[in-house]
Amino acid sequence: MINGGHVIIYSRDAEADRAFFRDVLEYRHVDAGGGWLIFKLPPAEIAVHPADGPGAHEFYFMCDDVDATVAELTAKGVEFTQPVTDAGWGRLTRFRLPGGGEVGMYEPRHERPTEL
């Protein structure tokens, strides 16, 4: 039985992004060898959206209070690239990783799946 998932974020500066996950987000991690950090993620969920063809996948961090989390991360020097907007199903924003990539973050307002 499948018991988890592994997310990969490609980066132009992997060391800077690893340091961000380690030092700013303070995610627990292990060193898989040679500084290759593998981070423990909080509980996750997956959604499948319709598309006309194969495309890029997206990653969103989730939080309980998007305004408080934006304030906390901004105080740590995180650059937000989109103001918080209300999409009905949640309040969302985007922020820049040190390596130049962007990820989303949202406060869900939809029903959440329970433990399997």
Residue 87 lies in a domain: yes
Beta-carbon count within 10 A of 101 CB: 15
CATH number, residue 104: 3.10.180.10
The confidence score (pLDDT) of residue 115 equals 59
Residue 100 lies in a domain: yes
Residue 91 lies in a domain: yes
C-alpha closest to that of 57 among 7, 110, 2, 111: 7
Q: Of the given ranges (33-37, 84-88, 92-96), which has the lowest mean pLDDT? A: 33-37
Residue 67 lies in a domain: yes
Residue 2 lies in a domain: no
Structural domain including 72 reads 14-108
Quote the number of domains for the chain: 1
At 3-61, the pLDDT tens digits run 778 888 888 899 999 999 999 999 999 998 888 899 998 888 888 888 887 777 788 89
Per-residue tokens: 61:
């961090």
Residue 115 lies in a domain: no
Residue 85 lies in a domain: yes
Give the position of tokens 């961090």. 61
* H/E run at residue 17: helix 14-19
pTM (2 d.p.): 0.80
